[in-house]
Structure 1
């Protein structure tokens, strides 16, 4: 189980907040996209997430690390390339919603790594393509 302090550190790396630290650490920030579903603007965390979770620490301090974000179609290939450059596996690209105003999807990635390193790599990949704002 991740500590609250670790979760807060991961949240700072992505410029977000801790959603929960038990039973897993989940941190999230919301993307600033003007997305519509069924003609209505959505600001829901279900629509706009950039989220990371960490859990299941091994004896070397590595955790199971998972990531998900909403992604515009034009961002997909550059983001996939940035994640792969950092040794992170991309595991899914798919729709969540129908009847969208712009073409957007969701992407998932994963690794077994030090949780801070995972958050830093994920944030760096996202900042490189404009998914997260540069610091």
Structure 2
């Protein structure tokens, strides 16, 4: 089994691409609409992680998820407790229901620890 598939398995997701960067994703279960149309688009409902190795063996680890407003502060706290840096909270869409926000987080280090910590933080606050 590839390293990228092992990382996808941690979050119960799938490999989106394995090269040149490993990207894994699963969709959040949010009943959402944009412009009055129901959406299940991975652009609207992602929980996604990417892992990019460099020459010294440390990996740049990035995360992004769709998040409801009431979930933002608990998820930030759960990530910070795991020493993961939250870098952004913003919107992507207009005219969506419910209000969908997006959070980004990052670190440099072991990709398996990052994937497990990201998943555990999401489970802790009930977003996965």
Alignment partner of 1:109 is 2:105? yes
| Inter-partner Cα distance in structure 2 for 1:107 and 1:63 | 20
Deviation at 1:113, TM superposition (A): 1.2
1:37 matched residue in structure 2: 34
Q: How does 1:41-120 map to 2 (within 5 A)?
A: 41-59=38-56, 61-120=57-116
TM-score, normalised with respect to structure 2? 0.96
| Inter-partner Cα distance in structure 1 for 2:97 and 2:88 | 22
| Inter-partner Cα distance in structure 2 for 1:83 and 1:73 | 16
Alignment partner of 1:28 is 2:25? yes
1:128 matched residue in structure 2: 124
| Inter-partner Cα distance in structure 2 for 1:103 and 1:47 | 11
| Inter-partner Cα distance in structure 1 for 2:99 and 2:70 | 9
Unaligned ranges ≥5, structure 1: none
Q: How many residues are aligned here?
A: 128
Which aligned segments of 4 or more residues in structure 1 are displaced greater than 3 angstroms?
Answer: none
| Inter-partner Cα distance in structure 1 for 2:65 and 2:75 | 11
Unaligned ranges ≥5, structure 2: none
TM-score, normalised with respect to structure 1? 0.91
